[in-house]
Amino acid sequence: LNINGDFFLNGITNGAFWYHVAGGMQDWQYVNTNCLEITIEMGCYKFPQKNMLPQLWDEHKYSLLAYMEYVHRGIRGFVLDQRGHPVKNAVLSINQGKNITTTDEGEFWRILLPGRYTVLVSHRKYLPQILNITVDEGSAKLINVTLEQKLCRENTVDSIRVRGEGAVRIAVFGVDSLGKSIVQELANATCLPEDLFVEILQQSTLHLFPSMSAERALYLKVIFP
């Protein structure tokens, strides 16, 4: 390549410095699979002949194996809830580099050079955790994280559930056994709200009564004067 005017210090160049490709397979792999894809330019032959392969292998095998070994460096582990169940789509934010998300099994892995890092583990249904870790030379450090669920505001004495903090106040109460069951299901669904309830709870406050009594009627008069 030097003959054609190209010069690579120590035989290596940054791909984007050599020529820029936007939205290629390398970008897709890095963003969507946490895979570091590289292209190795071993020579000027697009399709080497069969008799050239042994020499090409001998020239590159140790570098290739050393490169592959890097997958075992950095950090790895699982994000679980308090019952030991995997938490998928938890986000791991490191003080440098891209964010990564856990798999359906709660697993994560991140190639990191030796050093000290601050890792934020977060999920919209759980309380976040901040980890200060030190990555050493050698095999990846195993880090298993247990996230605690966000607690809902409960009035356990009166079994009244309050959801949301919006200005619009809404009371829902059951008048029979079926109504009690429905209100309890609504309380469960809005404790850790899915997308259906997020916008509602941003604009309103729900007061949920599985059943009614004289005391709860007084509560209603205070909350809804």
Helix (H) or strand (E) holding 116: strand 115-123
**Token pair 């054609």 is at which residue?**
4
Helices (H), the chain: 15-18, 25-33, 53-69, 177-191, 195-203, 214-223
Is there a catalytic annotation at residue 41? yes
The CB density around residue 148, as the number of other CB atoms within 10 Å, is 11
Dist CA 131 CA 143 (whole Å): 10
Dist CA 209 CA 216 (whole Å): 8
- Out of 37, 41, 107, 154, the active site residue is 41
> Is the CB of residue 108 less than 8 Å from the CB of residue 79?
yes
Closest alpha carbon to 87 in 62, 104, 72: 104
Report the catalytic residues.
41
